Amino acid sequence: MTALAIIGGTGLSELDDLVIHGYKQVDTPFGKTSSDILIGDLAGQSVLFLPRHGQNHTIAPHKINYRANIWALHSLGVTSIIAVAAVGGIRDDMAPGVIAVPDQIIDYTYGREHSFFSDDFCSDNHIDFTYPYDQHLRQQLLAAGKQRNISMIDGGTYGATQGPRLETAAEIKRMAQDGCAMVGMTGMPEAGLARELNMAYATCAVMANWAAGLSDGIITMAAIEHTLNLAMKQAKQIVSQLILTQ
């Protein structure tokens, strides 16, 4: 049974050299997943792939059915998830194009279904989330980057915002004061839900732009897409290397 899944984000909707065996539609108690789940292999190493914004990138961050996605992967036997995410850089070293493996999260989202236990709760369901990312999987990501000669930053706090709009300059200033190194819209509740089901979860975060107010002028999608076109090629190499060496 396949144990590793990749959740792709903006700029990563497929992987090079992936041999596709089929697509699985999974019925979950929480509704529909973002898309059918791709089942495949890379040089013989099996892997599942799910684009979190849907096949044609039509699902906004706050509308993603995170519970269905994580539940479905779990029901297919997945034990480890690599989440690829485009983010805005806040800390000085998080320039556009940089790839980081965050080690902490601050959740600024609201109104999202963020627990499997909302309707059937007991005290055991207060999961520990002191270290939100799986340390071993993080190290595997960093090692994969090293093997491909791609420099990556080890650590940093991921601030999860609601979206779909980008942040104001004042919001980013506050997030910087809070200690956020980067900002994205999908890291939560994805990471928390994976932990609720005891799945290892780590993020490969790709800086798409300087966060609001940290560069001259406004943030354009054209500039983000330009940066992601280049940087996601590296993210794909890192993820492929991790799959091959799992």
Angle, alpha carbons 220-221-224 (nearest 5°): 95
Least separation in angstroms between CB 242 and ligand HPA: 22
Question: Smaller CB distance to ligand HPA: residue 40 or 88?
Answer: 88
Least separation in angstroms between CB 88 and ligand HPA: 2
Q: In the complex, which residue's CB is closest to ligand HPA? A: 88
Q: Is the peptide bond before 61 cis (omega within 30 degrees of 0)?
A: no
Joined together, the tokens standing for residue 114 give 């963020």
Token pair 């600024």 is at which residue? 108
Question: Smaller CB distance to ligand HPA: residue 96 or 132?
Answer: 96
Least separation in angstroms between CB 50 and ligand HPA: 18
Question: Smaller CB distance to ligand HPA: residue 200 or 219?
Answer: 219
Least separation in angstroms between CB 208 and ligand HPA: 4
Question: Smaller CB distance to ligand HPA: residue 38 or 235?
Answer: 235
**Hey, what amino acid is at 95?**
A
Residues forming contacts to ligand HPA in the complex (CB under 6 A) are: 86-88, 161, 166-167, 183-185, 208-209, 211
Question: Smaller CB distance to ligand HPA: residue 78 or 211?
Answer: 211
**Hey, what amino acid is at 99?**
I
Question: Smaller CB distance to ligand HPA: residue 40 or 156?
Answer: 156
Least separation in angstroms between CB 210 and ligand HPA: 8
Question: Smaller CB distance to ligand HPA: residue 184 or 192?
Answer: 184
Least separation in angstroms between CB 223 and ligand HPA: 10
Least separation in angstroms between CB 89 and ligand HPA: 8
In Å, what is the CA distance from 67 to each residue of 31, 86, 104, 152, 204? 8, 20, 21, 29, 20
